[in-house]
């Protein structure tokens, strides 16, 4: 007894799939909706075909439905509404949906729901947070049910009239559970931790490939590619990727500094600056510490005066983003001071890379990690440098930066799954867009929190985007508040010893997040703490 194959939802990639797309395009927009003139050949190639991504539903070799997505401006709707952007919410990255068509035998809702679900995944993976359409007037009830918002006048002519509409990703997520009868997101609580961070589908998909030999030619080529991508991302000449966390990367830096003949200086204004002191002590380095209060940015003048008084200092080690407080220390100023004093600058960039543009030109050594702002899984440590290194028999093999350089990065066994996932995270479609969004959302988040009366540790002038630390008043307990938020479906940082000791909470935007859920988090935080206003995210 034969059974029909299950419906397959995918992105069109094969020539025969594109041919079926052209045929269904003709059936729908020539024969059914008279938008185009008939032709001798029953196929219609869209004028934007070369720029379209086609989301399709297949039943074996039969095309059941399709939808085209295009992110390049001008959209076709731009040609019909010259003032299109004035109708749309500002600060969004839109795509245009076109050519939605379902064969008559498949108009039961299953194909449309599947295509819409695939669209949601595609938009999430490619950084689109809004879609515009010219929705046929015949299906306005359906579009509105999903959450589309009509705007502007009708476009088209005759029997082919369309209503311009838009939907944001947040709006769709709010309607999705009702529309699909199952949640679109099943990953559990909303993750606003500094790590591990919420992971995109593209990164998860890359990680879930079969493990490979770390010596296989294909993987070695991919490994060198991700090293190059990381180097270009931060303007570093050399990059080494090693098993381990950011702590491992800082141990490697400490090992390299143990080879230096001059003493150094550690700058500290938070938990992770103090951890650099610990790294330095454990390696027996000769160094002094210039300490600032937690939440206080580095005093460039004080550092300049210290360097002038201490010409023997050969290196400085500090954090860029002090994760504990959310303070962003002034890397460009530090680079200038070190260049003038002929001092080697080493920087912990674990919590800054991926949250803002980082330029490591002129930096001697810098640490990073695969999680946090890079949006991949924890488990890989990264060291950036701009000089030539050679192996040293004085160092443990696992901590010898020169040993990795000698072996072109793959000195020991490394997880190919973690590297593939890191590569997918680094190759996100639009880093500048992520950086600008983080600045905007972080500013709104800080404003909303202050509107509730919360005290923020980092001053606005020196605050890192994506890391907000809240100092609670004495009548509130950070542990109890954090637990209540977790029960409400939100993961924030509160359990670290240094946070508990100071009665602090922390909201981080390092991984994938939804603005709708962020707004809900802030509102719940205010309610839990007994302060009342509605949070308003952009």
Helix residue spans in 356-491 (DSSP H): 401-406, 416-426, 431-451, 478-487
The pLDDT of 451-477, averaged and rounded, is 95
pLDDT at 488: 87
Coil, strand or helix at 470: strand
> Do 370 and 197 form a contact (C-beta atoms < 8 A)?
no
Q: Specify the residue for token string 């050399």.
A: 238
Average pLDDT, the chain: 90
Percent of the chain predicted with pLDDT > 90: 70
Higher pLDDT, 127 or 210: 210
Mean local confidence (pLDDT), 134-139:
81
What does DSSP assign to residue 27? I
Q: What angle do CA 253, 258, 264 make, to 5 degrees?
A: 85
Write down the CATH number for the domain with range 201-426.
3.40.640.10
CA–CA dist 418, 157 (Å, integer): 53
Residue 182, pLDDT above cutoff 50: no
Burial category of 273 from C-beta neighbours within 10 Å (exposed 0-12, middle 13-18, buried 19 and up): buried
Half-sphere exposure for 283 (CA within 13 Å, toward CB): 25
Task: Spell out the CATH class of 431-528.
Answer: alpha beta
**324 CB-near residues (< 8 Å, 6+ apart):** 270, 271, 272, 294, 469, 498, 499
pTM of the full structure: 0.72
**Alpha-carbon distances of 362 from 241, 254, 359, 432, rounded to whole Å:** 20, 18, 9, 22
Q: Alpha carbon of 246 to those of 13, 337, 366, 377, 433: distances in Å?
A: 39, 26, 11, 12, 26
Poorest-confidence range of 39-48, 402-411, 527-536?
Answer: 527-536
Report the CATH number of the 8-186 domain.
3.40.630.30
| Domain spans in the chain, listed from the N-terminal domain onward | 8-186, 201-426, 431-528
Detail the DSSP E strand segments found in 117-186: 130-136, 149-150, 155-157, 160-168
With a cut of 80, say whether residue 184 has pLDDT above it: no
How many Cβ atoms from other residues are within 10 Å of residue 447's Cβ? 13
pLDDT for 209 beyond 80: yes
In this predicted structure, the answer to whether residue 186 has a pLDDT above a threshold of 80 is: no
Task: Summarize pLDDT for 248-298 with one digit per residue, the tens.
Answer: 999 999 999 999 999 999 999 999 999 999 999 999 999 999 999 999 999
3-class DSSP string for 248-272: HHHHHHHHHHCCCCCCEEEEECCHH
């Amino acid at each position: 007894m034969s059974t029909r194959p299950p419906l397959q939802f995918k992105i069109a990639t094969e020539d025969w799939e594109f041919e079926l797309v052209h045929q269904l395009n003709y059936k729908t927009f020539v024969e059914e909706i008279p938008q185009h003139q008939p032709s001798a050949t029953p196929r219609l190639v869209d004028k934007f075909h070369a720029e379209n991504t086609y989301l399709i539903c297949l039943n074996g070799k039969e095309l059941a439905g399709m939808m085209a997505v295009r992110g390049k401006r001008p959209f076709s709707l731009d040609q019909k509404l010259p003032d299109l952007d004035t109708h749309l919410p500002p600060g969004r990255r839109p795509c245009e949906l076109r050519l939605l068509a379902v064969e008559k035998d498949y108009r039961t809702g299953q194909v449309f729901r599947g295509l819409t679900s695939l669209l949601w995944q595609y938009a999430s993976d490619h950084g689109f947070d809004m879609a515009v359409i010219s929705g046929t007037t015949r299906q306005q009830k359906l579009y509105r049910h999903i959450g589309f918002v009509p705007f502007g006048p009708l476009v088209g002519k005759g029997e082919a009239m369309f209503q311009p509409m838009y939907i944001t990703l947040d709006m769709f997520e709010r309607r999705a559970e009702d529309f699909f009868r199952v949640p679109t997101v099943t990953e559990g609580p909303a993750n606003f931790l500094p790590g591990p961070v919420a992971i995109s589908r593209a990164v998860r998909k890359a990680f879930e490939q079969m493990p490979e030999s770390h010596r296989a030619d294909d993987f070695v080529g991919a490994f060198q590619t991700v090293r190059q991508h990381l180097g270009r991302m931060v303007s570093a000449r050399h990059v080494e990727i090693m098993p381990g966390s950011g702590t491992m990367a800082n141990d490697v830096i400490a090992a390299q500094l143990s080879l230096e003949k001059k003493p150094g200086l550690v700058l500290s204004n938070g938990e992770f600056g103090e951890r650099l002191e610990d790294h330095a002590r454990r390696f027996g380095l000769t160094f002094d510490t210039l300490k600032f209060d937690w939440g206080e940015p580095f005093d460039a003048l004080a550092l300049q005066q210290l360097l002038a008084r201490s010409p023997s200092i050969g290196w400085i080690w500090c954090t860029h983003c002090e994760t504990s407080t959310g303070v962003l220390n002034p890397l460009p100023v530090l680079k200038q001071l070190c260049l003038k004093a002929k001092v080697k600058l080493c920087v912990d960039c674990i919590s800054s890379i991926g949250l803002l543009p980082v330029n490591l030109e002129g930096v001697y050594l810098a640490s990073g990690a695969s999680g946090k702002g890079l949006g991949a899984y924890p488990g890989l440590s990264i060291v950036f440098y701009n000089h030539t290194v050679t192996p040293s028999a004085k160092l443990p093999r696992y901590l010898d930066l020169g040993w990795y350089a000698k072996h072109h990065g793959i000195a020991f066994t490394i997880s190919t799954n973690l590297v593939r996932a890191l590569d997918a995270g680094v190759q996100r479609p639009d880093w500048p867009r992520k950086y600008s969004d983080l600045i905007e959302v972080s500013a709104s988040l800080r404003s909303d929190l202050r509107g509730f009366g919360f005290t923020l540790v980092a001053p606005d002038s020196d605050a890192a985007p994506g890391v907000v630390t809240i100092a609670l008043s004495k009548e509130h307990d950070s542990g109890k508040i954090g637990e209540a938020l977790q029960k409400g479906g939100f993961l924030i940082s509160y359990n670290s010893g240094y946070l508990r000791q100071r009665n602090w909470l922390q909201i981080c935007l390092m991984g994938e997040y939804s603005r709708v859920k962020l707004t809900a988090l802030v509102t719940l935080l205010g309610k839990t703490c007994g302060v009342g206003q509605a949070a308003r995210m952009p």
